[in-house]
Every structure is written in C-alpha cells, then in structure tokens.
Structure 1
Amino acid sequence: MWPPWLIDGQSLPASHQEMLEQAVLAEELGFDSIWVAEQHFSPERQCPSPFLIGTAIALRTHRIKVGVYTTMTFAHPIRLAEDAAVLDILSGGRLILCAGTGYRKEEFAAYGAAAEGKRSRIRESLEILRLAWADEPFVYRGKHFTIPAVPPDDTAGEEYPPLSVFPKPMQCPIPIWMAAFGNVGVRQAGRLGLPLFTSPLESIP
C-alpha cells in the first residue's frame, strides 16, 4: 500500500524531488521559511537525513530560510554542530535549527536511546552547540557528554586539550528554536529562552 502522501505509482525519488520543487515554489510565492523534519522508520514521512535535504533546498533557492528540525536525542552534538555549520555556509547564512527530543518508541528502541532524561540531554546538546560554534576552544563536562571524551583504555589519566570545531557557521550563532507539543516542552523552551516550534493543532494553555 502506498503512503497517503504519494501519488499511486509514484517512486520515492520522485517524491523527494517534489520536496525540492515545493521549496522553490515557496520562495517564489514569498514564504519566509521552509522546514524539513527528521523522521525515521515511517513510510509516511521518509526524511531520515534532514541536513541533506536542507542542503539540497539551499542550493536551489536564494532567499528563503531553511529550517531543519532534528531529533537531538539520537545524535552527538559535535556532529550536529558540524552538519549545521556546513549547511549554514552553503545556504549563505539561512539556516534555522529546531531542537526536537523525539517521541516515537520505535525510534528510541532502534537508536538505543532512553526516553528518560531526554530533556536534560537536549539542554547539554544546546550548550555544546553554542560552544562548538564559538571561536574559542572548549572543554565540556556534563551528565550526558564529556568533550573531549577520555577513552576507556586511557589509564594514564592524560588530559586532552580543549577542542575546536570547524568549520564555523556563517551566522554567529545559528538561530535555534525548540519543538514542543505539550506543556513540559513549552516550559523548557521558556526556561531556555528559545522560540517555540509547535503545531497549530496543539492546545497549549
């Protein structure tokens, strides 16, 4: 059975090509931004690599902001910092990054990630992103992340030098929003002072 968003008989590559065409059309119609959301193991939303699709959109457009919703719970913040910086450069400084925690059980199971503690993990990831994009080398010691990490076989207790991440993004820093589809997420976005990314169907007091 075809996913409902596919025309009967349409190939998946054709549907992804249509995403790019829609982005170009959105820019022509004067939209401010277009968004790509990370989703895994879903026939309805086949977008496991939002940074790749975001880059393809950026290279086909000139003005429109490129929003990337990424599930930070499943990715290391250093890799996120690098991917986001490259996309920001290729887009000419048009990237908006949206931090998501994830909610689908099959995604947590497949990535071996625990839903418990996901919000504190996101908070640390956001702190690391900002440090990684800054000019100064950094060291981070948190509950979930230690950067630079000390290998488990390092018995000498060697101190690793502060880390510098390259390339640096065009925007300093890249704008970050927070996805929230309930009161807990809304409160976290407020505490962190981040713009809210949510659904118009959500009823949030």
Structure 2
Amino acid sequence: MAVSALAYGIQLPVQAQSALFAEGWEAAAGPGDLVALARAVDRAGFGYLAACDHVAIPRRLAPAMSTVWYDPVATLAHLSAVTERVRLLSHVAVVGLRHPLSTAKQYATLDHLSGGRLILGVGAGHVREEFEALGADFERRGAVLDETIDALRAALGPEEFPEHHGKLYDFGGLGQRPRPAQRDVPLWVGGSSPAAVRRAALKGDGWLPQGDPRERLPAQIARLRRLREEAGIEGPFTVGAIAEPLYVGRAGWDVGRRTLTGTPEEIAESLRAYRVMGVHQIQVRFRSRDLAELIEQIGLFGAEVAPRLN
C-alpha cells in the first residue's frame, strides 16, 4: 500500500484548559491570544485548527477538566473571520446532546461563512451530568450518535429540504438555508473504544483517536481497514493520530520526559513513523511558557519540520 503524504493540524490552546494538557499561561489568556494563535497556524500551513465541545462541567470533574471550554461553533466562526485557508475542525462535537437539525443549522452556517472550511468531528461524549442536564440519553449515547450521524449526513447535504426517517429522529419538508459551501462536509468520528473505531470505519470519512500511543495505532488502523473492506466501503478515509508533545530545538527548561525535542530533522524523522503506519494527519501540541514562545514554535514547525515530513 502506498505511503500517503502526512498533513498536520492542531487543537488550539486557551479554548480548552483541561489540567491534562493546558500550560500555566493559558489561564490568563483570552480572545486576542486565540486570534494570534489562529493567524500563526494559518501562516504556518497547518491543515486545520480545532476546538472542543463541553456544555458544562460538574464539580466532581472540574479540578481535572477545568470549566474552561469555549463553544466550538462560536469559536471556529470567530477564527474563520481572521484566517484565510486553514480548515476548522470540531474535535469533537458531542452531537448527541442536541437535535441534529439544530446541529446542522449551526455547522452549515459555519461552513457557509467560512467558504467551505469545516471538518465536522463528532464523538459520543463521556460526562453523564451534561447529558442529564440537557435531557439527553447518556446510557444509549452510542446508539444515539449512530443515528445522529445519519441524520447529519442528510441535514448537511445539498438539499434545501433534507429528509431523515429513523427511530429517534424523523424530519422532512423543513427547509434550511444557507446550505454548506461544501457539497460533502467531511465527517470524522472520534474515540478509540472498539465501538468508536467501528463507528468511524462504517459511518465516517475519517478517524480521530483519543490518545492512542504509537504502539496501539497499527492494530487500530488494521481494524479500520478490515471493517471497511468487509462492509464493501470504498473511497477516501482519513486516519488521524495525536502526536507526543513537541518542542522544536533544545529547550532550556523542563518540557517533560514524554516531549519530543530536537532538531527539525530529528522531530520530522520521528513523526514520519506515523506516515509509515498509515496515518494521514497528525495533531500536534507544543510545550510553551507563554504566547510568544508558542507562536515561535508554530512558526518553526511550519517552516523547518513540516517540509521534512514527506
């Protein structure tokens, strides 16, 4: 099988501030910092920038997750107006929390306003209290997501009056404009459980893993391919991976033992291993002590590392 080119994207800091990955400086950051980062990412040739989706975080999870989660539609729409070419990814939208027509209205408008730059990443969600507060079914969220994907395919398609007739949602004869600028909005499915991988293979245009380490990826990718072959599904499919934290150059501070550091060629050599596995796009994240250092890292990656990936 031919080795494909390796694209790269980033989930933006500031808009999501889980204790698992946020840097200390992000707590005091705001909209202006997000705009500066989005413009830096756009200049550096990144394939996409991404924003997360949580409506509300319960107290029991707030110490680990924080309560800082910007709304993805509002955030991506804002950043689309200050960028030119970078694509806009929801990573991931918990679409089971909302009626698919409502979700379609928001994301179709975003795609229309951005000139066709949306990638809709979807996932099942994991915070029970969010579902309960919004009247959504937490226990059956996998089945809900399966049908929601089908409903969104219809509602984000080219038809002004989309139709879907399922067990959970039934609509037709209801017009929605503006339509997306893209005829087919790419839909990537997130998650690394067996059910999520199967859902990605059978219903998605791509797969967004949830933190699979390198050693787990080959088996996951093999399963994706096998499921699609067995189902007779053809056509392009984008396999993703989340890379280790990065720091281009030799840091003069402790960036953590898991962080991949070194010269541009050393970093590129390590990342090229993803490409050999069959990964099509990697999501990168940089260690940084402030906004200026992060913007510098983004620029160095785009100028010095990215040309060596392929």
TM-score class, shorter-chain normalisation, is 0.7 to 0.9
Q: Which amino acid aligns with 1:41?
A: A
* Alpha carbons 2:192, 2:212 under 8 Å: kept: no
TM alignment of 1:181-192, pairs within 5 A: 181-192=192-203
What is aligned with 2:52? 37
How many equivalent pairs are there? 189
* Alpha carbons 1:98, 1:179 under 8 Å: kept: yes
Cα distance change of structure 1 residues 66 and 190 upon mapping to structure 2, 3 Å threshold: same
| Partner SS for 2:102 | helix
Select which of 101, 116, 126 maps to 1:103.
126
| Partner SS for 1:70 | coil
Higher mean displacement: 186-195 or 82-91? 186-195
Select which of 83, 100, 112 maps to 1:89.
112
TM alignment of 1:73-84, pairs within 5 A: 73-84=96-107
Query: TM-score of the superposition, structure 2-length normalised?
Result: 0.55
TM alignment of 1:125-204, pairs within 5 A: 125-132=148-155, 133-135=157-159, 137-148=161-172, 162-202=173-213, 203=216
* Alpha carbons 1:40, 1:46 under 8 Å: kept: no
Distance in 2 between residues matched to 1:77 and 1:167, nearest whole Å: 16
What is aligned with 1:157? none
Cα distance change of structure 1 residues 195 and 163 upon mapping to structure 2, 3 Å threshold: same
Deviation track 1:91-117 (CA, whole Å, cap 9, x = no partner) reads: 111110011110112222222222222
What is aligned with 1:49? 71
Shift of 1:9: 10
What is aligned with 1:58? 80
| Partner SS for 1:66 | strand
State the identity as a percent.
25
Cα distance change of structure 1 residues 57 and 8 upon mapping to structure 2, 3 Å threshold: closer
Cα distance change of structure 1 residues 193 and 83 upon mapping to structure 2, 3 Å threshold: closer
For structure 2, which runs of at least 5 residues remain unmatched after alignment?
1-16, 220-310
Shift of 1:200: 4.0
Distance in 1 between residues matched to 2:26 and 2:182, nearest whole Å: 42
Higher mean displacement: 28-37 or 113-122? 113-122
Deviation track 1:2-29 (CA, whole Å, cap 9, x = no partner) reads: 9754757954xx4343223211111122
For structure 1, which runs of at least 5 residues remain unmatched after alignment?
149-161
Cα distance change of structure 1 residues 9 and 198 upon mapping to structure 2, 3 Å threshold: closer
Distance in 2 between residues matched to 1:9 and 1:52, nearest whole Å: 19
Cα distance change of structure 1 residues 91 and 136 upon mapping to structure 2, 3 Å threshold: closer
Shift of 1:45: 5.7
Higher mean displacement: 184-193 or 110-119? 110-119
What is aligned with 1:159? none
Cα distance change of structure 1 residues 40 and 19 upon mapping to structure 2, 3 Å threshold: same
Distance in 1 between residues matched to 2:34 and 2:27, nearest whole Å: 13
Deviation track 1:135-173 (CA, whole Å, cap 9, x = no partner) reads: 25344321111225xxxxxxxxxxxxx222211100012
* Alpha carbons 2:160, 2:179 under 8 Å: kept: no
Cα distance change of structure 1 residues 71 and 81 upon mapping to structure 2, 3 Å threshold: same
* Alpha carbons 2:116, 2:181 under 8 Å: kept: yes
The CA RMSD measured in Å over matched residues stands at: 2.5
Distance in 2 between residues matched to 1:9 and 1:129, nearest whole Å: 34
TM alignment of 1:6-25, pairs within 5 A: 7=24, 11=28, 14-25=29-40
* Alpha carbons 1:139, 1:147 under 8 Å: kept: yes
Q: Which amino acid aligns with 2:38?
A: A
Shift of 1:201: 3.6
Cα distance change of structure 1 residues 46 and 17 upon mapping to structure 2, 3 Å threshold: farther
| Partner SS for 1:135 | coil
Higher mean displacement: 98-107 or 54-63? 98-107
